[in-house]
Structure 1
Amino acid sequence: MTAVEQRFREFKMPDVGEGLTEAEILKWFVAPGDTVTDGQVVCEVETAKAAVELPIPFDGVVHELRFDEGSTVDVGTPIISVDTDPGAGEAAPQAAPAAEKPAAEKPAAAAEPEEKEGRQANLVGYGAAPASTKRRPRKPLPGGQRSAPAPSAGASAPQEPAPAPARPEPAPAPELNGSGRTARPLAKPPVRKLAKDLGIDLETVTPSGADGIITREDVHAAAEAVQAARETPVAAPSAAVTAVAGRERRVPVKGVRKATAQAMVHSAFTAPHVTEFVTVDVTRTMKLVADLKQDPELSGLRVNPLLLVAKALLVAIRRNPDINATWDEDNQEIVYKDYVNLGIAAATPRGLIVPNIKDADAKTLPELASALGELVSTAREGKTTPAAMSGGTITITNVGVFGIDAGTPIINPGESAILAFGAVKLQPWVHKGEVKPRQVTTLALSFDHRLVDGELGSKVLADVAAVLERPKRLITWA
């Protein structure tokens, strides 16, 4: 490793999940020129499983952010470079030795190979230069590009010294391309998000802010211009294309949404699904929920019908343990598990995720309520870790919160069953020989028919329904 490589260290996109190949950069918390320390979070990325914050593993000053927010980056690709010795001043070109002779003492022929190598030092905050066959000028000159080196050593000597200042200013001038515009549009993250929401390409926006920074007003002006262009009468074919384009949105399928889609397709076409339904009177369970909310032992905890549905499923699994298993296709084995990692399907802005409560079968009711509340809160904040979503054994999906009575849920890959809990509604019900209004819900259990036959699946669903109908069975069957 060269001295320059030791000084400018790169942090590569890590594999923060289980063999994931890529991640999307959601947000940068640092910018070029910022000082960072070992363990400091520099960005938030979204993998196919969750949003994760990444800490930098060394100290220094941010030299370059290699990717913009919203970019999808392969694991192992450098995403940020850090100057670990900013006090050393400007780095020398990598192709030149530390104690280089003055250019005037070298023949012109000796200087040419250095030009062809295309290796050069980078000013802090300017970013790494792309590979090139000749050295790029450090700063564009008002009159255009730097002139080519003269054939004689004497003529080329004045071109060798680095331009002043030797150290970069706190806010260096943006690099310009041939058209006079910045090579990468300058805008703050909120402005970039606004442009993305409005469908505006920042490359087409004329900046009005200081140092060529694009402002919110610039983005709104560009959006108004686009809208005005759409309203301008044009030829019929073009008008039709514009009208369709203005009424459609295209969003790339990536991150959690992409992983969920792939998993559901794999599950639906690999595991033969069977779904059974049962409608049950849960009036007693709803009364118990109301009583538990007043219990001092459960003060401050999330107490709701889902908590008792989870407890009822755990009791049913204890009575029918073979439902808690998985199919090992590679080894042609059924793996029965003596622990229950209870998954709870959670809808988030980034898509459906299924974090699970580890060893849920060993928890008391207050412990289960605490774990369930923490799981839901973390999921809503988008902070669920990949570890929290791995190792699940059976899942509950609460479609009732959306007012849905029932459905045919798809089994979470690697599991054998999933229970759907429908909406609880007041309905006419025959109770003690009379038709009375009762709290009623529908349960649906989907299971993998390769390892769960109809008898086992029916027993599990019937036990869950029996506990919810008469919740005292939580005690007698436990």
Structure 2
Amino acid sequence: MPVKEFKLPDVGEGVAEGELVSWLVAPGDRVEEDQPVAEVETDKALVEVPSSYDGTVEELFVEEGDVVPVGDVIISFRVGEDDGDAGGEADGADAAPGDEPRGEAEGSEPGAADADPDAADGDSEPATSSGRTFAPPSARRLARELGVDIAAVDGSGPGGRISEADVRAHAEGGGGDDAGDSGSDEAPAPTPTDVGSGGRKSAVKKRGEDGSAGSASTAAPSAGAPEPAGRETTLATPATRKVVRELGVDIDDVPTDETRDGEAFVTGEDVRAYAEALESGTAADSATEPEPVDVDAGGAAAGSATAGAGATTGTGVTDADATTGSADETVPYRGVRRTIGKQMERSKFTAPHVTHHDTAEVDALVEAREELKPRAEEAGVRLTYMPFVMKAIVAGLKEYPYLNSELREDDEEIVLKKEYNLGIAVATDAGLMVPVVEDVDEKGLFELAAEVSDLAARARERKLKPAEMKGGTFSITNFGAIGGEYATPIINYPETAILGLGAIEERPVARDGAVVAAPTLPLSLSIDHRVIDGAVAAEFANTVMEHLEHPLLLLTQ
């Protein structure tokens, strides 16, 4: 039966690559067209990737956490089979002529997968029970290495999804096969991927297939990296080559046990491990750990001069020990976090920022909200201060349109926007996201409250669509919700202004010669000084404050 490859589609407007966060299917699973098969994080949002086929998952080509360019193959499906044939026949006789699966290297013999039983053992899972098992390739590989029946593992993730930690816990709890049975001649039962393969084998040769690197300890080049390989040809995906460029290593020197079409194949994991080994000075050494340094009573090292150089004066602690005890944690700088960084850098180093600070006395606003809250609750809406602020901002933008503009440097023109689309910054686990509320001038307070609440909730759940974060003309950041009074917000380029809101709290206010406590709202307005003068910014802030201090004026908008 034919095998169809599925490439990572363009999941957003102009998105060039995405990080595969999690697989929603596993080899052997039956899928339908438009069923989500993976979650992919782009530089804008987390999106689900739907299948284009009805069929059975044949193979996953990408690990969770890998950054994949748009257009790269991520998964393959067996199509043209009935539900009852999902398991397939072992002879694979239904494979369409001329439609060889991607998994078979060009020019290889049809029976190559059967010619080396040891190779098959290295990549086979123990027999699994019937039914769907949700586990990523990394967890399945670990299960094979530990001799664990993946179907017997209790998954702790959503929908019973199995993680590597679940596999290890199952193995430590006695769920793995007895190590003493390794000499048995009985071959493991075929995995869902193997059934009906017709002798196919993956184009990528997994570590351990040749029997020389099948153990967990050699599954990846780690702490003590081997000597540089010095190959003439090395295969790698574009994403891996990008990692090579970023880390500044020679890809032909990166050790690997994987091959593709007879050539060495390097993954991003291999590159990072090799770079770390180079940095620690162990790339040219063997996998042995450094000898401990013996220090005598006077503090002198008893070992060689080289060993003595690694000892801390007067102690028995080596530099390696100190590093191990205080190792820093590294977090990938990619996805939404990298996009935020690039956007902030571009804005800060393109637009000359000036920040204007002021404070609104909002007694009347607090009273107006309290009066309207019961009515809002009857309508199923939670009324916050944000809709009032949004309407006040629109009043200011209508009077001072340069704050609702965009500077097009190449065309040497300033575009004064006639739409009032306000971006609302939302703090999420992945970083700051700015969903956009469109046509604020045409919506009422309750409608705005409901829309802001919906967008903020979906932003935190990573369910926003890329289009919902585009088209803003002015942005708001409410750092007062976390705590604080004033800040210097960075403009959401190419917009020309952003308003920061402090916390509404009672503060000392001078009234009629006396100091009294009154609710106030601190405001921090950042502007692009190429387009907006300081005086215009102050006048805009005064207009916003006037509408917040006298909420009835919002009825005129």
| Range of TM-score over shorter length | 0.7 to 0.9
Report the alpha carbon displacement of residue 300 of structure 1 after superposing the two structures with TM.
1.6
Q: Given the alignment, which residue of 70, 93, 109 partners 2:65?
A: 70
1:353 equivalent to 2:348? Answer no
Change (3 A) 1:340 1:68: same
Instruction: Render the CA deviation track for 1:65-96: whole Å, top value 9, x for unaligned.
Output: 111222211111111111112358555699x9
Q: Distance in 1 between matches of 2:75 and 2:419?
A: 42
Query: Could you say which structure has the greater relative contact order, defined with CA pairs below 8 angstroms and 6 or more residues apart?
Result: 1
Match for 2:103: what amino acid?
A
Q: Distance in 1 between matches of 2:352 and 2:439?
A: 27
Q: Given the alignment, which residue of 516, 525, 534 partners 1:445?
A: 525
Q: Distance in 1 between matches of 2:522 and 2:164?
A: 43
Instruction: Render the CA deviation track for 1:106-128: whole Å, top value 9, x for unaligned.
Output: xxxxxxxxxxxxxx956xxxx82
Q: Distance in 1 between matches of 2:554 and 2:488?
A: 27
1:324 equivalent to 2:319? Answer no
Q: Which residue of 2 aligns with 1:474?
A: 554
Report the alpha carbon displacement of residue 436 of structure 1 after superposing the two structures with TM.
1.3
Q: Given the alignment, which residue of 326, 334, 339 partners 1:259?
A: 339
Q: Which residue of 2 aligns with 1:27?
A: 22
Please tell me whether the aligned partners of residues 292 and 298 of structure 1 are also in contact (alpha carbons under 8 angstroms).
no
Match for 1:40: what amino acid?
Q
Q: Which runs of 5+ in 1 are unaligned?
A: 99-119, 147-168, 214-218, 220-225, 227-232
Q: Distance in 2 between matches of 1:306 and 1:471?
A: 13
- Secondary structure (helix, strand or coil) at the match of 2:551 reads coil
1:342 equivalent to 2:433? Answer no
Q: Distance in 2 between matches of 1:470 and 1:463?
A: 11
TM-score, length basis structure 2? 0.64
Q: Which residue of 2 aligns with 1:13?
A: 8
Q: Distance in 2 between matches of 1:282 and 1:416?
A: 26
User: What is the root-mean-square deviation of aligned Cα atoms in Å?
Assistant: 3.9
Report the alpha carbon displacement of residue 237 of structure 1 after superposing the two structures with TM.
2.7
- Secondary structure (helix, strand or coil) at the match of 2:330 reads coil
Tell me whether 250-259 or 448-457 shows the greater mean CA deviation.
448-457
1:244 equivalent to 2:326? Answer yes
Report the alpha carbon displacement of residue 461 of structure 1 after superposing the two structures with TM.
1.2
- Secondary structure (helix, strand or coil) at the match of 1:467 reads helix
What does 1:427-442 align with in structure 2 at a 5 Å threshold? 427-442=507-522
Q: Which runs of 5+ in 2 are unaligned?
A: 121-129, 178-187, 192-215, 217-222, 224-290, 294-317
Q: Distance in 1 between matches of 2:6 and 2:543?
A: 53
Q: Distance in 2 between matches of 1:262 and 1:136?
A: 51
Tell me whether 456-465 or 343-352 shows the greater mean CA deviation.
456-465
Q: Distance in 2 between matches of 1:297 and 1:97?
A: 65
Please tell me whether the aligned partners of residues 420 and 445 of structure 1 are also in contact (alpha carbons under 8 angstroms).
yes
Report the alpha carbon displacement of residue 426 of structure 1 after superposing the two structures with TM.
1.2
Change (3 A) 1:207 1:310: farther
Q: Which residue of 1 aligns with 2:44?
A: 49
1:274 equivalent to 2:354? Answer yes
- Secondary structure (helix, strand or coil) at the match of 2:495 reads coil
Q: Which residue of 1 aligns with 2:74?
A: 79
Q: Which residue of 2 aligns with 1:160?
A: none
Report the alpha carbon displacement of residue 26 of structure 1 after superposing the two structures with TM.
1.5
1:138 equivalent to 2:113? Answer yes
Report the alpha carbon displacement of residue 244 of structure 1 after superposing the two structures with TM.
2.3
Change (3 A) 1:207 1:448: farther
Q: Distance in 2 between matches of 1:194 and 1:34?
A: 20
Report the alpha carbon displacement of residue 434 of structure 1 after superposing the two structures with TM.
2.6
Please tell me whether the aligned partners of residues 33 and 170 of structure 1 are also in contact (alpha carbons under 8 angstroms).
no
Report the alpha carbon displacement of residue 181 of structure 1 after superposing the two structures with TM.
4.2
What does 1:139-158 align with in structure 2 at a 5 Å threshold? 139=114, 144=118
Report the alpha carbon displacement of residue 350 of structure 1 after superposing the two structures with TM.
0.9
Q: Which residue of 2 aligns with 1:390?
A: 470
Change (3 A) 1:354 1:193: farther
Change (3 A) 1:424 1:140: farther
- Secondary structure (helix, strand or coil) at the match of 1:295 reads helix
- Secondary structure (helix, strand or coil) at the match of 2:391 reads helix
Q: Distance in 1 between matches of 2:501 and 2:370?
A: 19
Report the alpha carbon displacement of residue 302 of structure 1 after superposing the two structures with TM.
2.4
1:128 equivalent to 2:103? Answer yes
Q: Distance in 1 between matches of 2:174 and 2:112?
A: 25
Tell me whether 319-328 or 73-82 shows the greater mean CA deviation.
319-328
Report the alpha carbon displacement of residue 134 of structure 1 after superposing the two structures with TM.
5.7
Match for 1:344: what amino acid?
I
Please tell me whether the aligned partners of residues 41 and 56 of structure 1 are also in contact (alpha carbons under 8 angstroms).
yes
Change (3 A) 1:136 1:356: farther
Q: Distance in 2 between matches of 1:298 and 1:340?
A: 28
Instruction: Render the CA deviation track for 1:13-33: whole Å, top value 9, x for unaligned.
Output: 112222111111122211111
Q: Distance in 1 between matches of 2:110 and 2:163?
A: 35
Report the alpha carbon displacement of residue 238 of structure 1 after superposing the two structures with TM.
2.3
Change (3 A) 1:278 1:193: farther
1:58 equivalent to 2:33? Answer no
Q: Distance in 2 between matches of 1:399 and 1:8?
A: 52
Q: Distance in 1 between matches of 2:56 and 2:408?
A: 49
Instruction: Render the CA deviation track for 1:210-242: whole Å, top value 9, x for unaligned.
Output: 7799xxxxx9xxxxxx9xxxxxx9542321121
Match for 2:112: what amino acid?
P
Q: Distance in 1 between matches of 2:553 and 2:345?
A: 38
Report the alpha carbon displacement of residue 368 of structure 1 after superposing the two structures with TM.
1.2
Match for 2:73: what amino acid?
P
Report the alpha carbon displacement of residue 135 of structure 1 after superposing the two structures with TM.
5.9
Q: Which residue of 2 aligns with 1:414?
A: 494
Q: Which residue of 1 aligns with 2:539?
A: 459
Change (3 A) 1:344 1:130: farther
Match for 2:410: what amino acid?
D
Report the alpha carbon displacement of residue 357 of structure 1 after superposing the two structures with TM.
0.6
Report the alpha carbon displacement of residue 306 of structure 1 after superposing the two structures with TM.
1.9
Change (3 A) 1:416 1:207: farther
Q: Given the alignment, which residue of 384, 387, 397 partners 1:304?
A: 384
TM-score, length basis structure 1? 0.73
Q: Distance in 2 between matches of 1:277 and 1:136?
A: 75
Report the alpha carbon displacement of residue 358 of structure 1 after superposing the two structures with TM.
1.4
Percent identity of paired positions between Structure 1 and Structure 2 = 37
Please tell me whether the aligned partners of residues 344 and 397 of structure 1 are also in contact (alpha carbons under 8 angstroms).
yes
Match for 1:474: what amino acid?
L
What does 1:95-174 align with in structure 2 at a 5 Å threshold? 128-129=103-104, 137-139=112-114, 144=118
Q: Distance in 1 between matches of 2:55 and 2:119?
A: 33
Report the alpha carbon displacement of residue 332 of structure 1 after superposing the two structures with TM.
1.8
